[in-house]
Amino acid sequence: MIVLAGTIGAGKTSLTKLLSRHLNSQPFFESVDDNPILPLFYKDPQKYGFLLQIYFLNRRLDEIKGSFDNDLNVLDRSIFEDSLLFKLNADLGRATHTESDIYTSLLDNMMEELPDERHQKAPNLLIHIQVSFETMLNRIKKRGRSFEQVDTDPSLFNYYKELNARYQKWYDEYDLSPKMVINGDQYDFVEDSTAAAEVLQLIDHKLEELNLK
């Protein structure tokens, strides 16, 4: 499969839609609007952080298994990012480090349990959408989810800033599959159809390089 990576507001869902249509493959989307735990997490991250990560883990494993039938299926978030997100919550006191360690161990064990007879467990390609902190904040504000807004909860400003900073280090160290980066500030594929076409062309070239297209 192809997986998208990037911070909140990077444009993962938008690019997943564009790319799956372009490749005539199936998109798999992160559960947000129908996620019953996410709004509770933003109100009380210490209480609901671990439960939220287990919810996401369960959904992402289903998505990985569901994507096995086509190497060009597109997932709008990588399961490998979740430890980064939960470790940040622990470092900021929004979860405990014990919970973070248990989650990472559980993730590793669950990945080992995935069937590997038909498909590799790591993606065929990871695409990281890199955006500036300013773009991240603008996108979060524009999409308007009340529980994500800095105006409603000023403590989210530092959380978002640290999250965006850590993503670059995470991408630099990621070595489980081929990868590429899309500059989300340079290519505003969400609003600009020309930029969207250019991004799809960049991805096509990478897929051809990997003999996937």
pLDDT, residue 173, reads: 93
Residue 91 is inside which H or E element, if any? helix 82-91
Q: Are 20 and 74 in contact (CB under 8 A)?
A: yes
Residue 136 reports pLDDT greater than 60: yes
Q: Which of 56, 49, 121, 57 is nearest to 87 (CA)?
A: 49
**Which region, left, alpha or beta, applies to residue 51 given φ > 0 means left and ψ of -120 to 50 means alpha?**
alpha
CA distances from 201 to 2, 54, 77 (A): 15, 36, 21
Mean pLDDT for 159-182 is 93
Q: Which of 25, 9, 7, 22 is nearest to 123 (CA)?
A: 25
What is the tens place of the pLDDT at every residue in 34-82?
A: 888 988 988 898 999 899 999 988 888 888 888 887 889 999 988 888 8
Choose the catalytic residue: 44, 62, 69, 76.
76
pLDDT, residue 10, reads: 93
Residue 105 reports pLDDT greater than 70: yes
Which domains, and CATH codes, for the chain? 2-209 (3.40.50.300)
Q: How far apart are CA 7 and CA 61, in angstroms?
A: 20
Mean pLDDT for 113-135 is 82
H and E: helices and strands count for the chain = 8, 5
76 is catalytic: yes
Numbered residues of the known binding site for substrate: 30, 42, 53, 77, 82, 148
Residue with the larger pLDDT of the pair 178 and 81? 178
Q: How high is the mean pLDDT of the chain?
A: 90
Numbered residues of the known binding site for ATP: 6-14, 139-143
pLDDT, residue 80, reads: 86
- What is the pTM assigned to this prediction? 0.87
Residue 205 reports pLDDT greater than 90: yes
Residue 141 is inside which H or E element, if any? helix 133-143
